[in-house]
Structure 1
Amino acid sequence: MKAFGWLAVVVLSVAAWNGSAPAAHAAPGCRQLDAALPWYGDVRERLQAVIDAHSTCTGTWKRPTQAVALFDWDNTEVKNDISDATLAWMLRHDKIRQPADWHATSRYITEAATTALREACGTATPAGRPLPTSTNVACADEILAVREGKTHDEQEAFSGYNQRWSNGAYVWTVALTTGYTAEEVTEFAQAAKRENLDAPIGAEQTIGTTTVPGYVRIYPQIKDLIGTLQAHGVRTWVISASSEVVAKVWSPEIGIPTNQVIGVRSVYDTNGKQTPHVRGCGGQPDGADTVITYVDGKRCWANQVVFGVQGPTAFEPFDVDKRQILAAGDSTTDVTFVDDATAAHLAINRDKTELMCRAYDNADGKWLINPMFIDPYPQRVDPYLCATDGRTNPDGSTGPLLRSDGTVIADQKDTVF
């Protein structure tokens, strides 16, 4: 089936849509999603129905506070990853500084990873000085490998953290800008943004000996969705597992103001220099490095920043009458806050098990699935093993994925691609 092969999916989607979005019709002059931008099946129509049913323009939204929609960033609003794009630019321009000790870059980095980084990057560069990653191929390769969570020889790079609250590699990637001010990191991200937006779709680059994507593109469908939500009085936010500083550089490209961006928030020293540590959520202290915008941590940060929930309660679902009406994501990273949405859960299919298990199970009839808008993945051959390995546990193991009523989600076939 092609990425935008419609008929079978239209039938399936209409059957799955249970009418839970109130019927509403656009009033004259109310913005509608651009019909010229292709969505999968009837996803555009269903999104428009949700917008019209929660709209200050149509008059259906009567509450005193604005409706809210939350969007992941990487591979949800754009094709490719802005953290990866910024890191690649930094490696090519020798912007990563030699740490005094690689152990200091993360509370959760393993001995295998620190040894591999020390051997690859050497000790000749004094602490605090830029590593020559543009010419030291082994160092660049090792940093890119650890960014993915394992050393170049496939040993685990991080351990000992709650994997529903954080991701060791993500926090470490943010920590690679330790010693810089937020303004300096902004400059790096702006340079990477210009380069990646100017590069043609499909462009690649070689860092060390590693081939990585060389372009980023805004998805026009998502930009149109955000603009339409805003025109109907819905407040739109970015909730990203990238550095918040980097995400704020990109958010204007899609029409979301920088004060409505939540990402990984670094701790800064008294001189305004970034430290390797991050701010906390849900009662976890700043600098403990326990909770970032990752899986259940994304719910925590959304609840804390968007809705003002303080303390451990931020880890729990917020009031069903006040939380986000719509949420969108592409990965297991996003599954909790996307599932919390009350009117529509938009899943961009990037073949991530926990998210796609919930999306295909469609327990409340409000899940919408769309392939990636650029270079979508082919159909997954084997079913998602939701019933045995669908959920990532805090220790990183996997187990059965359960619905809210405690029943097990059956294995699911990949049908939207």
Structure 2
Amino acid sequence: MRHLLAWTLVAAAATLAAAPTPHPVAADCPRLTTTWYGDNRDHLQQVIDERGTCSGGSRHPVAVFDWDNTVTKNDVTDATLSWALRHDRLLRPARWKDTSAWLTDAAAKTLTQTCGTGAGEPLRTSTNPRCTDEILDIRENGTTASGAPAFAGAWNHRRTVPQYAWVPQLFAGRTPAELTEYARRARAEALAAPVGATRTLGTHTVPAYVRYYTQQRDLIRTLHRAGFDVYIVSAGSEPITEVWSRGVGIDAAHTIAIRSVLDRRGRITVWNQGCGGVPATRGAAIPYIDGKRCWINQEIYGVQGPAAWQRQPWPYRPALAAGDADTDVTFVGDATGAHLVLNRNKPELMCRAHDDTDGRWLVNPMFIDPMPRRPAPYPCSTTAYNAPDGSRRPLLREDGSVVPDQPDSAY
């Protein structure tokens, strides 16, 4: 249930933007039980105590988590794609150019040459490493195996990235139920593989395992017990993310990811649902950077039209938000109680986190196989900001001042 849809923006404007007056915290308020870096657990517990229903509040506060490498170690959409490639579950499109609005002629030609012809037939990727390599290079790098650009043209780089949108498009012709089953099989396989395991896919070496982070399981469980409505927002495929989110007690209604448009027979198409007044497209408005804010505002708070792209008044923003990459920087920054960041050395997010203008940013090393310390400061003052046109620019604070370069201090 979208629990705040009944609230209107008129009511939002009438609500004071300041934080509510703290209520006395009950002694039996749900407690976090796992170990965190530094004093992060104490800060998270404070948000739970002050915003949760155990403090006497009447509204259900919202917490929002990115999924891949935030709640789990490794990417669950990639794990499902890996399984599908090894079991010939992708269907060959009539024209590769139809799969993405931005796929280049060079990429389409290469895919046709390496993956064969015959629309609607399964791609024999289990025995055709060249086809597998082309798909993986386009997914991972946005280039063909030879290094040629796979995508070209104009798109808003804070609303989408073509290779992210391309993965659900690769499953065109399959049903959501089929994709759900692929995700279940991939999940069982990835959880059974030992930590650190890899496999060869084509000629690529890719992770073979996924793990739920114990700390994030405990945090989500504690938030639920304290009356929070907990959501996932991911730039992965929604049927896949739903399979995994159930493992931490989050249902489909609270899982937001790339939503494919279905045809009349209920099969996945290359079109994705839109957000914030953007209609269905081939990937122009997915949950990516500013797109994650849009999908949160639209699906959780009921904000419709272009206003969904804008930061909302204080009562219409998450109390806690968590992410690990630049794709999460906008919605994590919107949180009013705590901005939780897992350090994967992503410049825009880490610059915001270490600048910590409101004193609410919490940086934590990854819980499994954390990154080593970045030797050079993050380039906040020069190239950290991902601009809509794809350029890299200085990162600015709300007052217009430039964020100075920041050293890596949580690793």
Band of TM-score, shorter chain: over 0.9
CA contact (8 A) 2:326 2:349 kept: yes
1:31 corresponds to which letter in structure 2?
Answer: P
Query: 2:270 touches 2:282 (CA, 8 Å); kept in 1?
Result: no
The count of residues paired between Structure 1 and Structure 2 equals: 391
The residue number in structure 2 matching 1:147 is: 139
Opposite residue 273 of structure 2, the aligned amino acid is R
In structure 2, the partner of 1:330 is: 324
Task: Quote the offset at 1:211 in angstroms.
Answer: 0.7
1:289 to partner: Cα distance: 3.0
Deviations 1:168-208 (A, max 9, x none): 00111110100011111101111101100111111111111
- The residue identity in structure 2 corresponding to 1:40 is Y
Amino acid at match of 2:147: E
Pair 1:52 & 2:49 matched: yes
Please give the TM-score of this superposition, normalised by the length of structure 2.
0.93
User: What SS does structure 2 have at the residue aligned with 1:358?
Assistant: helix
1:30 alignment partner in structure 2 = 29
Deviations 1:235-261 (Å, cap 9, x if unpaired)? 100000001111111111112122100
Which whole-Å deviations, capped at 9, do the CAs of 1:49-74 have from their partners, x for residues lacking one?
11101021132x24xx3100000000
Look up the match of 1:402: 396
The corresponding residue for 1:17 is none
State the partner residue of 1:157. 150
- SS, match of residue 44 in structure 2: helix
Which piece of structure 1 moves more, 113-122 or 407-416?
113-122
Q: Residue type of the partner of 1:412?
A: Q
2:321–2:340 Cα contact (<8 Å) kept: yes
Structure 2 residue corresponding to 1:294, chosen from 272, 285, 288: 288
| Distance change (3 Å), C-alpha of 1:25 and 1:195 | farther
Q: Residues of 2 paired with 1:350 and 1:113: CA distance?
A: 30
In the alignment, which residue of structure 1 is the partner of 2:109?
Answer: 115
Query: Secondary structure, in 3 states, of the residue corresponding to 1:239?
Result: strand
Task: Extract unaligned runs of 5+ from structure 1.
Answer: 1-19
Aligned counterpart in structure 2 of residue 211 of structure 1, from 183, 205, 227: 205
AA matched with 2:151: F
Task: Tell me the distance in 2 between the aligned counterparts of 1:22 and 1:32.
Answer: 21
The answer to whether the 8 Å contact 2:25/2:50 transfers is no
- Does the CA contact (< 8 Å) of 2:159 and 2:289 recur in 1? yes
Q: 1:74 aligns with which of 63, 68, 75?
A: 68
Q: How far off is 1:277 after superposition?
A: 0.9
CA distance 1:196–1:139, change in 2 (3 Å): same
Q: Deviations over 1:246-303 (max 9, x none)?
A: 1111111112122100000001111101101100000011135310000000000000
Partner of 1:265: 259
CA contact (8 A) 2:319 2:335 kept: yes
Residues 166, 293 of structure 1: 8 Å contact kept = yes
Write the distance in 2 (CA, Å) between the matches of 1:393 and 1:267. 28
Extract unaligned runs of 5+ from structure 2.
1-18
Can you list the C-alpha shifts for 1:110-130, whole angstroms capped at 9, x where unaligned? 22221221222133xx11000
